[in-house]
Amino acid sequence: MITNNLEYDGITSDHGRSVPFQTGLDSRHGSHLCIAVDRAYCRQSTKYRPEDISKRVGQVPRVAVDTTPNQRKDSMRRPAALLRVALALGAMILVPRAGAQAQGPTEIATCQTISQPGSYVLVHNLTATSDCLRINSDFVTIDLAGFAIIGSGAGTAIQFIGPTPQTPRRGLAVRDGTISGFGTGIQFIRIGGTDGAIVEGLRIFGTAGGSAGLDGILVRGAVVRGNTVVCGAGPGIGIRVVNGSVTGNVVEACEDGIDADGVVSGNYVSSGSGTGINVEGTAIGNTVTGYGVGISATCASNVTDNTAVDNGTNLVLNGTGCKNTNNVAP
């Protein structure tokens, strides 16, 4: 067995060239052991003796590296091959499997009945002589994408149908566009109403110069936010919400402005003959002007930080127990 006191070095052979070798003692025979790249050198050389080992302990080994042309070529080929493998694996990961591609919204180009859940988007303006879009499914989102649905004075622009009076539709959303010239803009209140509906970013107008009136947004169990409703001539209500919230809307020239059971906050309502805001629940931070009655609250409602001015009667609290705090309603 070779002992552990081995060294690496190179010395000049009789032929004038450096020879890397390894030396040690064979403990089995007590003889000198020489391991060299040039085995002939071990047989011929007498320049490196066992007794010299102790003099060389602690020297830093010198390792000769063969950099022949073939080895250099192999070292260059290996990174290139690895790069090709990595690129191939990346392409396999990035390319989706057949049938796994993401599907975009379904395009709407005509008035129709929507019978499948999913996302839908208008691709241009729509015109109708009666109802336009009818939703006969849960979990439907309709994006008007800035386009308009234009009626001729009757019907409903967007409404749901079915399933039964006892079962509300779930997960409906309508957003971002204009509705004009219908008897009703959004109708989600009848036949059981909705759960979790959202109506946002719409601009709803009655028939210009007409007398048919307009019901702008009628919903149950919904969030109504950031809409503008202008009713024009004739009777009608801007926004009607049962068990929901009405936030950040503008309602103008509607017989009644907002009628809500729930939370009414941050709305601006003006210029009507009836009641600007009729609330049972909470009314915070609203402004009402130019109505017969500005704000009418059913107690015990929370009526806080509202402004009702220039109305026939600015604030009416119906019953007892309402919280009437910081309202400007002379």
Q: 205-235 b/e with 16+ CB inside 10 Å = b?
A: bbbeeeebbbbbbbbbbbbbbebbbbbbbbe
Which of 312, 186, 169, 295 has its CA nearest to residue 238? 186
- Cα torsion through 98, 99, 104, 110, rounded to 10: 120
Residue 164 sits at φ, ψ, to 5 deg, of -145, 165
What is the pLDDT, as a whole number, of residue 89?
A: 64
Is the pLDDT at 152 greater than 80, yes or no? yes
pLDDT for the residue numbered 25: 43
Average pLDDT score over the chain: 80
**What is the SS3 assignment for 147?**
coil
pLDDT at 9: 43
What is the per-residue pLDDT for 71? 53
Over range 300-329, report the average pLDDT: 97
Distances (CA, A) of 300 to 38, 280, 321, 324: 105, 8, 5, 10
Q: Please determine, for residue 173, whether its predicted confidence score (pLDDT) is greater than 90.
A: yes
- Residue 285: band (very low, low, confident or very high) from pLDDT cuts 50, 70, 90: very high
Quick one: which of 214, 244, 243 has its CA closest to 230?
214
C-alpha 279: how far from its chain's center?
A: 33
pLDDT at 2: 40
| Greater pLDDT, 61 or 74 | 74
Bigger pLDDT: 291 or 195? 291
Q: Is the pLDDT of residue 296 over 80?
A: yes
Parse the chain into domains and list their residue ranges: 7-56, 110-325
The domain made up of 110-325 has a fold known as Pectate Lyase C-like (2.160.20)
pLDDT for the residue 233: 73
Position 123 pLDDT exceeds 90? yes
Name the token pair of 153: 């004075």
Which range, of 37-51, 114-128, 249-263, 299-313, averages the lowest pLDDT? 37-51
Q: Quick one: which of 148, 187, 194, 200 has its CA closest to 171?
A: 194
SS (H, E, C) 15-75: CCCEEEEEEEEECCCCEEEEEECCHHHHHHCCCCCHHHHHHHCCCCCCCCCCCCHHHHHHH
pLDDT band at 167 (very low <50, low <70, confident <90, very high): confident
pLDDT tens for each residue of 5-47? 434 344 444 444 444 444 444 444 444 444 444 445 444 444 4
End-to-end CA distance of the chain: 110
C-alpha span between 122 and 109 (Å, rounded): 6
pLDDT at 75 over 80: no
- Closest to 257 measured CA to CA, from 244, 279, 272: 272
Cα angle 74, 75, 79; round to 5: 110
pTM above 0.85, yes or no: no
Pairwise CA distance, residues 330 & 328, whole Å: 6
Digit-coded pLDDT (tens) for 55-69: 444 454 444 444 455
Reading phi first (left if > 0) and then psi (alpha if -120 to 50, else beta), residue 326 is in: left
**Do 220 and 195 meet the contact criterion of CB atoms below 8 Å apart?**
no
Binning pLDDT at 50, 70 and 90, where does residue 117 land? Answer: very high
- Residue-wise pLDDT for 176-195, tens only, equals 999 999 999 999 987 667 88
pLDDT given for residue 299 in this prediction: 96
Is the model's pLDDT at 70 over the cut of 50? yes
Compute the distance between CA of residue 87 and CA of residue 325 in angstroms, rounded to an integer. Answer: 68
The Cβ-side half-sphere exposure at 50, using a 13 Å CA radius, reads: 10
Q: Do residues 291 and 310 make contact, with C-beta atoms less than 8 angstroms apart?
A: no
